[in-house]
Structure 1
Amino acid sequence: MGYDLDIPNRFTYHPPQGDQPERYERLRAAGREFAELLAELCPSSPELSRAVAHVDEAVMNANAAIARHA
């Protein structure tokens, strides 16, 4: 048996419910704060760019977890 890719849930619009918008905003604010700290402390470099991209990806995945598994 293959890994369950959960394709229908991944590619379905999940309108925000209840406190989800506030939770999304808290995650975005925390991600932005961390990305700004990285930009302040780290020299401009490919590694910094990747670190900020990973923060962005983490926020997006966290928001998807809230949307898909409410």
Structure 2
Amino acid sequence: MTQTYVVRFVGGPLDGRVDSHARAPEAPRPTVTHVHLHSGPKIVHHYDLQYAVEYGCEYHLRVEDGA
């Protein structure tokens, strides 16, 4: 039986999102960028890999300094 690789997002517009993949990547990306396009200005959020757990990995919203 193959275990599903799970990617969780914490904070920001992707908070609570869970992506499932058939297998783990060679190396999880250190940062994931989410771009939100709507009728106003483009909004960019960065999620950083905080730690890898046995089921997959977890990304947390980056707290931007000076905002």
From the two aligned structures, give the one with the greater strand fraction: 2
User: TM-score if structure 2 supplies the norm length?
Assistant: 0.28
Higher RCO (C-alpha under 8 Å, 6+ residues apart): 1
Considering only CA atoms, is the larger Rg found in Structure 1 or Structure 2? 1
